[in-house]
């Protein structure tokens, strides 16, 4: 019988020498869902995913993956999943083909079945032309795709990915996510952690985590509704100087920099916009545009975090 949840987590916690890394976390992931656990470095993302992959035991609470308890049935859990860590164990002195063969040996994939799967995975990840290249000679994005191919050699029910696009160039990030969405069409449940908040929009649901605590968990659209304030997007001739000025003068507002764009979170958009115009003019910074915009998930995360800390 199919488990009603691909992943179920109840009051999960983990401490290291008295320091709490994960604090009373509860959520569930449906079969075939792409779930993102989003948060800054040190938020507890890696510790959470390691507990779910039965690599690490919790100090509190319980978790089930494909209906199996991650501690009491750890070996059964490992048969149903693949886990791709931040530093996936590729062998740089082996070729692309040899690396995948190695993982096929580990999972006991037969010779006949193996050839078909490897050809498909190489084509799937656009690595066919590079099958004889040493893994150590691949680009960062290609190494990540090879790591994913190795993780998929035994067709897991649940795929755990810990910051898979960290340090990868934007084009490779886009390609990687395209591959993940293809996997969803085949019914694979995907649990991904990332510090890139723009990637959260690609997920069906998102959990926002900070300092080990789950602050919110919902669809990206519903998370945006958590914003109780408005967002003013500002473009100037000197964004860094403008941000420093606004952070100094607008002490009650949240101010973030996204490339050349400044986002000011405010409950009073009209008076704040007038005040910003005056401050920039007095400082000799040219205001190119200012408009009210929909919040992105980074705005939401900053807002939720600020509320929590208050």
**Domains in the chain with CATH codes:** 7-223 (3.40.50.300), 230-294 (3.30.70.2470)
CA-to-CA dists, residue 87 to 58, 171, 249, angstroms: 22, 20, 43
How many CB atoms sit inside 10 A of residue 62's CB? 15
Q: What is the reported pTM?
A: 0.84
How many CB atoms sit inside 10 A of residue 152's CB? 23
Q: What is the mean predicted confidence (pLDDT) over 275-295? A: 93
Higher pLDDT, 176 or 32: 32
Best-predicted range by mean pLDDT (53-57, 249-253, 258-262, 299-303): 53-57
- Tokens, residue 112: 């006949």
Strand-strand pairing, 189-194 and 7-16: unpaired
pLDDT at 295: 85
pLDDT grade for 200, boundaries at 50, 70 and 90: confident
Q: Computed from CA positions of residues 171, 172, 175, 176, in that sequence, does the dihedral angle turn out positive or negative?
A: negative
Q: How many CA atoms lie within 13 A of 276 on its CB side?
A: 31
pLDDT at 183 over 60: yes
Distance, in Å, from the CA atom of 285 to the CA atom of 131, rounded to the nearest integer, reads: 54
How many CB atoms sit inside 10 A of residue 202's CB? 18
Q: Computed from CA positions of residues 180, 94, 168, 130, in that sequence, does the dihedral angle turn out positive or negative?
A: negative
Q: What is the mean predicted confidence (pLDDT) over 47-65? A: 97
Whole-number average pLDDT of the chain: 90
pLDDT at 1 over 50: no
pLDDT at 195 over 90: no
């Amino acid at each position: 019988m199919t488990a009603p949840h691909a992943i179920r987590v109840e009051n999960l916690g983990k401490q290291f020498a008295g320091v709490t890394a994960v604090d009373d976390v509860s959520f569930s992931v449906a079969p075939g869902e792409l779930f993102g656990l989003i948060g800054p470095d040190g938020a507890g993302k890696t510790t959470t995913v390691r507990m779910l992959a039965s690599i690490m035991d919790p100090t509190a609470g319980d978790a089930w993956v494909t209906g199996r308890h991650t501690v009491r049935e750890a070996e059964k859990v490992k048969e149903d999943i693949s886990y791709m860590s931040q530093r996936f164990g590729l062998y740089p002195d082996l070729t692309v083909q040899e690396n995948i063969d190695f993982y096929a040996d580990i999972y006991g994939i037969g010779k006949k079945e193996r050839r078909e799967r490897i050809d498909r995975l190489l084509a799937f990840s656009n690595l066919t032309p590079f099958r004889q290249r040493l893994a150590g000679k691949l680009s960062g994005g290609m190494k990540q795709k090879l790591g994913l191919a190795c993780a998929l050699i035994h067709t897991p029910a649940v795929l755990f990915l810990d910051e898979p696009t960290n340090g990868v160039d934007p084009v490779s990030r886009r390609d990687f996510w395209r591959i993940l969405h293809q996997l969803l069409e085949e019914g694979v449940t995907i649990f991904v952690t990332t510090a890139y908040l723009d990637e959260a929009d690609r997920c069906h649901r998102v959990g926002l985590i900070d300092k080990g605590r789950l602050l919110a968990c919902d669809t990206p659209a519903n998370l945006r509704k958590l914003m109780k304030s408005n967002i003013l997007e500002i473009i100037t001739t000197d964004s860094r100087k403008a941000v420093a000025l606004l952070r100094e003068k607008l002490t009650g507002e949240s101010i973030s920099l996204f490339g050349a764009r400044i986002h000011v979170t405010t409950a009073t958009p009209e008076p704040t916009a007038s005040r910003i115009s005056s401050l920039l003019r007095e400082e000799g910074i040219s205001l190119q545009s200012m408009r009210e915009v929909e919040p992105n998930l980074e705005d939401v995360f900053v807002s939720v975090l600020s509320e929590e800390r208050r």
